Structure 1
Amino acid sequence: MEWFTAPEYWQGRLIFQRGLAVIYALAFLAAALQFRALLGERGMLPIPRYLARTPFRRSPSLFQLRYSDRFYAGIAWFGAVLAAAVALGLADLVPLWAAMALWFALWALYLSIVNVGQTWYSFGWESLLLEAGFLAIFLGNDTVAPPLLVLFAARWLLFRVEFGAGLIKMRGDRCWRDLTCLYYHHETQPMPGPLSWFFHHLPPPLHRVEVAANHVAQLIVPFGLFAPQPVASVAAVIIIVTQLWLVLSGNFAWLNWVTLLLATTAVSAYPVLPDAPAVAEPPGWFLGAVIAFVATVVVLSYWPVRNLLSARQAMNASFDPLHLVNTYGAFGSITRVRQEIVLEGTDATHLGPDTVWREYEFKGKPGDPKYLPRQWAPYHLRLDWLMWFAALSPAYARSWALPLVTRLLDNDPDTLRLLRHCPFPGAPPNYVRARLYEYHFSTPAELFRERIWWRRTLIGEFLPPLSHPHLDRHRE
């Protein structure tokens, strides 16, 4: 059955599936460690409240059957353990049907989390992980050679990720067309990494080269994925290199890593890995399942293709509640100035000009100018990311800003675990406020002289000083 299988891609399948299982494990780990403050029964956006107004058909999830914080934690931790086992090779030690069941379980469990995650799970890489995870079900395991049709489905997904991102840039901000967007992007991206300061200070001509190379990688190279070898492998390697460049320059959760892993399936040979093991002919039921899956992808691709061709292209949209075939694209517009929300508290009982306010520090988002940004991706800090969006517009925080303040006024342990530093370890503050600052990377001279990575200027008030009586009146 030579038309159906492609043994020469066994190594690419191995890298893709093992790597994707690692991403699954990190996604489940993040869900387990962060959900109580964000989504739990006493969280900022409680899942039970969401389920009460959302039917199953709009948001299929195991939690539609029942919800408790203990059940959610059990699902998240079980998913993390199962994904770790698959990453270590469990799916290659069991029969084909069992391997497919393992991958289906990972997809179904994470879908259940995403579909009740509300604002905290509104990122394009959630759909990307689910779509790639569903595709992994039909790639098989060591008992069969990789199905050629599914490998092409993986390339089609990779094409949509890259080409969609390229199109939305060319249709969006003018700075992408005049090659100047990276004058700003490294500084204003949602969560800079430890090397972002250095990328920002590259000479302007190199920034223009970065943008031009990005356009080539996203608008031209993806077409090479469908060319004969070795052209497809060359295209995939170019995409892998550009994704690693993005990994070094910022924190974008697992977006770059899943994109990179998809590209590994288009490379036909990895000299450092062993050759493919001897395999049997794929069973007829597997052939039928693969054909049905690919037919579904073809049918559901109508909406992403229509979106790609539209002058009003939407970015990161899912067209069905199962997230099977989605559309992708990010950073159609670039912010020129970075604004950050800084949360502060005080234990003073009366406020005045001499009141001492102390800052809360987040793990990922910029705060203290002397603190070097850390590398968090592919792990995802959900509150930190939403704080960046809230600084762009208070509308992004309308549903969770006051619940966050309430939990800080209570010194809620689950919420404080989301932070790097709480200035009130003993007793909770009496007041919490939020101020808006403009942030810029320091110059090399400022870094050398003052040991600061950022310099910031106060813009004004984001939230006035709030205490429990203020919040109680607001709720009334």
Structure 2
Amino acid sequence: MDGFAAVDFGFSREVLQRGIAVLYIVAFVSSWNQFPALLGEKGLLPAPRLLSWVHSRTRAGRILNPTLFRFVRFTDRRLRALCAAGVVIAAALALGIPQLGPAWVPMLCFLAIYLGYMSIVSIGQTFYGFGWEMLLLEAGFLAAFLGGREQAPPTVVIVLFWWLVFRLEFGAGMIKIRGGREWRDLTALTYHHETQPMPGPLSRQAHLLPRWFHQGEVLGNHVAQLVVPWFLFAPILGLVVPGPWPAIVGDVAAAIVIATQLWLIVTGNFAWLNWTTVVLAFSAVSAPVPFFRSAGALPIWWIVVTSAVFLLYAVLSWWPARNLLSRRQLMNASFNRWQLANAYGAFGTVTKERVEIVVEGTLDSDPDAATWVEYDFKGKPGDVRRLPPQVAPYHLRLDWLMWFLPLGGWRRLDEPWFEAFLGALLAADAPTLRLLARDPFHGERPQLVRAVAYRYRFTTHAEYRRDRVRWDRTRLGTVVGPARLR
């Protein structure tokens, strides 16, 4: 680093800008494909209904984060137009085209996709209530101030990225230490690979590893999240300490964060959470690659703008910093409507057993004599023979909420969206059926549907060799239905 200019972080800027842009493409494509069926004009939780409620109440607007649809009437067509525009702008950023111009060009492009995606998240209700939504928004906002290829990235903005990674990793580590006992007695990962929201192709193999390996995983996780993040700030010492060591320490810290995230990527499906963390961790990699090194001095106006952003974050960071020290630490919380300087964290407790809600339908009108057939989801476990798919960084929102559904107790499922989902299945609603992997009735309306709870567990190696099944499941009972269309 050299004062206001982080001259050795040109490569880091390339990874940050292009990587974040690619993740925005994934997010916009996900919304294009799923938002109309989940939250559109005829969706399970229609966004127009929420917006109408907000408009009808003077003070209700205070609970809604900024969205363009406060000023423009929502339609599915306009939602898709917004997604298409977001994909085009993000694709240009991923290719590095706006970065070839003055600093204000990529700034405006990143702010456009940040505000565009916030407009979607703000009306996404429970289907967009995930920590990686606010993480992507905050990353997009900060990326707006990394500048273009004409000058080196501003030092203050690189430091803000370190602060973001610190809050993300250290916050997750603290939420675990303060959370379930399983994180303190090193048993958490003897359950997690099996009970995580959406297992991947290698999750079963990871689950069947020896107990001592899982204990080592937990211990390594604590080191990576509670100790390593502090060393991300080591390159700052390069301003006063001569020699390569401050930069090397930062590189090693970044490498450890990236390595742990790659293990999570190959053993699970956490949408773009882990991929975003990998991209953000590159902010601490000081690689003086000549091709990415910019000799141009930072203009005064750009120093003023980026310094103002830094001062804004210095003020906003009071709340997440206090949260990190609080015994009642909040997880994935925002302290302002613009989703900046958020608190992060995940899996403060680990589920010990996996309960899946299996949705079934039948063409028979008599439930006692009916032949019931399961609906197959794209990501969540169902068929005991199917290899769990690799989905991330794509986000299957319906599948994720199906995992949350029984966590409060499978005997009573009281979620408005799930009731609407069953109604859509009874109506053979085409957009809803496209969210699934297979419609067993090929567009025909079932007479009845029901929801059945099962306890799932991964089979052992011996069980798989004998039965060729990856899951063993035990029926717990019917929790909804049989229900028919009114």
Verify the 8 A CA contact 2:194 2:204 in the aligned structure 1.
yes
**Residue 380 of structure 1 is aligned with which of 363, 370, 395?**
395
Corresponding residue of 1:432: 449
Q: Contact 1:142/1:279 (CA < 8 Å) preserved in 2?
A: no
Q: Report the equivalent of 1:472.
A: none
Distance 1:328 1:137, change over 3 A: same
Q: Is 2:231 aligned against 1:224?
A: yes
Take 2:440 and 2:100, find their aligned partners in 1: how far apart are those partners? 50
User: Contact conserved, 2:7 with 2:294, CA < 8 A, in 1?
Assistant: no
Q: Does 1:117 align with 2:124?
A: yes
1:23 aligns with: 23
Structure 1 residue 167 corresponds to structure 2 residue 184: no
Report deviation, 1:48: 0.7
Match of 1:412 in 2: 429
C-alpha distance in structure 1 between counterparts of 2:373 and 2:391, whole Å: 25
2-side partners of 1:24 and 1:433: how far apart?
A: 37
Partner of 1:340, secondary structure, is strand
How far the C-alpha of 1:2 sits from its partner, in A, is 3.6
Contact 2:452 2:479 in 1 (8 A): yes
Question: What is the match of residue 281 of structure 1?
Answer: 297
Question: What residue in structure 1 maps to residue 275 of structure 2?
Answer: 257
SS at match of 1:400: helix
Does residue 131 in structure 1 map to residue 146 in structure 2?
no
Unmatched runs of 5 consecutive residues or more in structure 1: 470-476
1:211-243 deviation digits (Å, cap 9, x = unpaired) = 000000000001111122211111111101001
- Paired letter, 2:439: C
Residues 396 and 115 (structure 1), Cα distance of their counterparts in 2 relative to 1, 3 Å cut: farther
Counterpart CA distance in 2 for 1:170 and 1:152 is 26
Q: Which residue identity does 2:253 align to in structure 1?
A: A
Task: Calculate the aligned-residue CA RMSD, in Å.
Answer: 1.4
Residue 392 (str. 1) matches residue 407 (str. 2): yes
1:37 is matched with 37
Alignment match, 2:67? 61
Give structure 2 stretches of 5+ with no counterpart: 55-59, 235-245
Separation of aligned partners in 1, 2:321 and 2:281: 20
- Alpha-carbon shift at residue 7 of structure 1 (Å): 1.4
8 A Cα contact 1:389 1:396, kept in partner: no
Distance 1:145 1:426 in 2: 56
Using a 3 Å threshold, how does the CA distance of structure 1 residues 69 and 465 change in structure 2: closer, same or farther?
A: same
Alpha-carbon distance in 1 for matches of 2:209, 2:366: 48
- Measured in 2, the distance between the counterparts of 1:89 and 1:434 equals 48
Cα pair 1:7 1:276 within 8 Å, conserved = no
Offset from partner CA, 1:43-65 (integer Å, 9 cap, x none): 01101111122344432100111
Bigger mean CA deviation after superposition, 395-404 or 377-386: 395-404
User: How do 1:94-105 residues align onto structure 2 when only pairs under 5 Å count?
Assistant: 94-105=101-112
Q: What is the count of residue pairs matched by the alignment? A: 466
Distance in structure 2 (CA, Å) of the matches to 1:20 and 1:411: 37
1:77 equivalent in alignment to 2:84? yes
Show CA shifts across 1:263-315 (max 9, x none): 10101117xx6532444222222111101111111111111111111101110
The equivalent residue for 2:157 is 150
What SS does structure 2 have at the residue aligned with 1:145? Answer: coil
Contact 2:102 2:147 in 1 (8 A): no
Q: Does residue 240 of structure 2 align to residue 234 of structure 1? A: no
* Residue of structure 2 aligned with 1:370, choices 385, 395, 406: 385
State the TM-score, normalizing by the size of structure 1.
0.96
Q: Does the CA contact (< 8 Å) of 1:372 and 1:453 recur in 2?
A: yes
Residue 60 of structure 1: SS of its match in structure 2? coil
Counterpart of 2:252, as a letter, is: V
* Whole-angstrom CA distance in 2 between matches of 1:88 and 1:301: 32
Aligned partner of 2:47 in structure 1 is 47
Letter in 2 for 1:420: A
Distance in 1 (alpha carbons) for counterparts of 2:32 and 2:61: 23
Q: Distance in 1 between matches of 2:290 and 2:14?
A: 11
Alignment of 1:261-272 (within 5 A): 261-269=279-287
- Percentage identity across paired residues of the two chains: 52
Cα offset, 1:244, TM superposition: 0.4
> 2:14: which partner in 1?
14
